[in-house]
Copies of this chain bind each other. A is one copy, B any other.
């Protein structure tokens, strides 16, 4: 490997990841996910109804909101309130999280509830959207379990686990799981969301002025598959899924 990672990891090595279930007392599902220095509180709230356009379908829905505490990053950011609108970046990310989690559960014919997955970034050090998805799956799982045990839905939905990881290229070197320091000097930056079969749920490759070849895309896919497989295994472990 030509590029030396400042935290000593190998190019294909995940950061240390820890998910704490039942982190808070009020929500139906809640986790603290820590991936390296990135820390996110994720709550999954059950509401016993769905938006108007879904009524009488007997389906449920998962939606997500993503927000940073003002000082999650190096510089304080103003809160998006009092007429200030949600930053475009947050809108993009929360839509991605929602779509990704909905791809994990078959919400058809289980009855009509809404799961609000709130991802609040306590400390940001790269990879917040991917960690929100990986941890969000666990929170949503717990909330759905609560809903089933309390008879808000008629059965626990079929599911395939969902996890996500960032990959990128620095100086021609493909790298797995980028912290902020790498993210800011990367030539190409991709996020992959996959399910437990390593089928693709979402791809977002967003360069800023750079381009990459089809071969490099293939290399990045290999890395992503490796990382996501490890995250899926960790989810299985903490959720006691055999």
Contact = CB atoms under 8 A, between A and B. Distances in A.
Interface of A: 24-27, 30, 37, 39, 41, 43, 45, 47, 65, 67, 69-74, 76, 79-86, 88-89, 91-92, 94-96, 99, 102-103, 116, 118, 120, 122-123, 125, 160, 190, 194-195, 197, 199-214, 217, 221
B207 A26 contact: no
B88 A76 contact: no
Given A86-B85, A203-B203, A67 B95 contact: no
State the number of copies, please.
6
A212 B197 CA distance: 10
B213 A199 contact: yes
Most interface-central of A71, A208, A214 (chain B CB within 10 A): A71
Given A26-B71, A43-B70, 6 more contacts: A65-B70, A85-B85, A88-B95, A197-B211, A199-B212, A217-B221
